[in-house]
Amino acid sequence: MPAQEPEIRAVAATPSAAPRYRVGTLAYTRGTLGQVMFWMLWGDFFFQLMESMPPSVIPLQLRWEGAGDTLIGLLATSLPSALGFFLGPVVGMKSDRHRGWLGRRRPFLLWCTPPVVISLVLLGAAKPGGAMLQRVLSAVGGTYFTVAGCTIAWIGLCIVVFLIFNTFIAQVYEFLFADVIPQEVMGKFIGIYRAVGAMGSLAFNRWALGWVQAYTLHIYSLIAILYAGAFFLIVWKVKEGDYPPPPPQKAGGGLEAIKRYCKECFTHRLYLNVYCVPFFFWSSLVPFSFVVFFATQAGKPGYASTLGLTLQEFGQIKGWTFFVQIPIFFLVGPLVDRFHPLRVAMVGLFLTSVTYFCCFWLVHGAASLQFWWCLNQAAIAVYLAAYLTILPRLLPLSKYGQFMSANQTFGYIGLVLTPPLCGLLLETIRDYRYVFIFCGISTGLACLACVTLFLQWKRLGGDEHYRPPEPWLKSSG
């Protein structure tokens, strides 16, 4: 961007302030890079604080209205994932091609934050909103609608609005990493990013989750406001560089664009291997919807006995899992830069699978749940610290958003398919403990996919000579 050139020239004018890091047209001294990383991490804390709320609270809101496990799986996970599946490619391609005075990523953060905030506040008002909706429908003859049914419908509509706009924010925010953070410090940045995000999740689960039933609207509203302020600061403080003009739009309309997208993203074996890892790992995220029922008194009659914890006790245990992750993220970041993220990811996925099976066999009370769940989340932290660093190293940066969206599309497929399957499994077995078996198998398959990806990466040059394949160049030339 033209406004950045004087700053870059001024930094380069004196040897003591010479730029040490570059990404695209951006040049940073250690101090200016530190400022960019600070604002990105500042936003991440409040983003994870906000992101921790819907997956934890919406299943409880639905259960309070009498929803069954299958419906909870559909509304809390499958519906959001289906929307993400269809929106992901649109987000990736639109942000890759966008050019404006704010860059190609920040405009989407600016435009989409207000609708996300409004939908969160409306989710917090689900109970009075459902009651109001039932009164309106009764007044026009819909006397067979119940307050609980209208509240569930209200929650579903709010989830749709939230997911549409939050999909843009969540994906574009990750795309921004590759545009403003230099490759040589990406591992350290992702490690700190994950640690700060864990602090946000810790803050919600430790100090807010236990109060959510009594102060639902207050907690939703407060966190939504904090989140909005953080992301407006990112738009203001984090500058993007200049981008080359996007390639001209090819003729053929939407159908031809879909064909090109599929041909570019899904015809090379390496990229298919990349996508398989989130497919299986995201499938393992089902416990974040159901483990609260295994641990607390919110289980259903006729099911195997739960651990019987209060919601406050569960929130404190879950908070400890994030507390354990924080030092892991700090320690793993430098290891990722040194040993390559693929190697670290394989270790993390193997340990995650093992600890899920240990949770199934060895958890019998609050103390054992806290111990094994903390070990499980420590293993997940090893993988998560490496995962986001894998993608800038393996995907082509010229079409990074497009390939990231394809990668996330596979993850969304896993999230769409597995929650109702897991819900049906639970309604058949009637024992919430079996979610750990489901997740152990899923992460084991993710580990196998990561090993396959590692071998493919080695064949394409490995540490010294790997270059992202560009199948579209072959098809055009």
Q: Look at residue 262 in the predicted model and tell me its pLDDT.
A: 86
User: In terms of C-beta density within 10 A (0-12 exposed, 13-18 middle, 19 or more buried), how is residue 1 classed?
Assistant: middle
Q: What is the pLDDT of residues 346-361, one digit of tens each?
A: 999 999 999 999 999 9
pLDDT score of 297: 66
d(CA 6, CA 27): 11
Phi and psi torsions of 454, nearest 5°: -60, -45
Mean pLDDT of 1-26: 55
Give the pLDDT confidence of 200-220 residue by residue, as tens digits: 888 887 788 888 888 999 999
pLDDT at 252: 60
User: Which pTM was predicted?
Assistant: 0.71
pLDDT in tens, 403-458: 888 888 888 788 778 877 887 888 888 888 998 999 999 999 999 999 999 999 99
Q: 209-213 contacts: CB < 8 A, separation 24 or more?
A: 209/56, 209/57, 209/311, 209/314, 209/315, 209/318, 209/319, 210/310, 210/311, 210/312, 210/315, 210/316, 212/56, 212/57, 212/60, 212/311, 213/60, 213/64, 213/311
Average pLDDT, the chain: 85
Strand-pair partners of 343: none
pLDDT of residue 109: 94
Mean pLDDT of 350-374: 95
User: What pLDDT sits at residue 12?
Assistant: 38
Number of CB atoms found within 10 A of residue 305's CB:
9
Q: 389, 329 in Cβ contact below 8 A?
A: no
pLDDT for residue 298: 57
Q: Which domains does the chain possess?
A: 26-242+264-466 (1.20.1250.20)
DSSP 76-88: IIIHHHHHHHHHH
- Alpha-carbon distance of 405 to 402, in angstroms, equals 5
Instruction: Count, in order, helices (H) and strands (E) of the chain.
Output: 20, 2
Phi, psi angles (nearest 5°) of residue 395: -95, 150
Question: How much is the average pLDDT of 136-147?
Answer: 83
Query: 18 by DSSP, 3-state: which?
Result: coil
The pLDDT value given to residue 287? 65
Locate 293 and state its tokens: 């029922």
The reported pLDDT for the residue numbered 411 is: 84
Give, in order, the Cα–Cα distances in Å from 15 to each of 18, 30, 33, 34, 474.
Answer: 5, 13, 17, 19, 44
**pLDDT value for 472:** 64
Which pLDDT belongs to residue 8?
38
pLDDT in tens, 321-347: 888 888 998 888 888 888 889 999 999
- Rounded-to-integer distance, Cα 174 and Cα 334, Å: 20
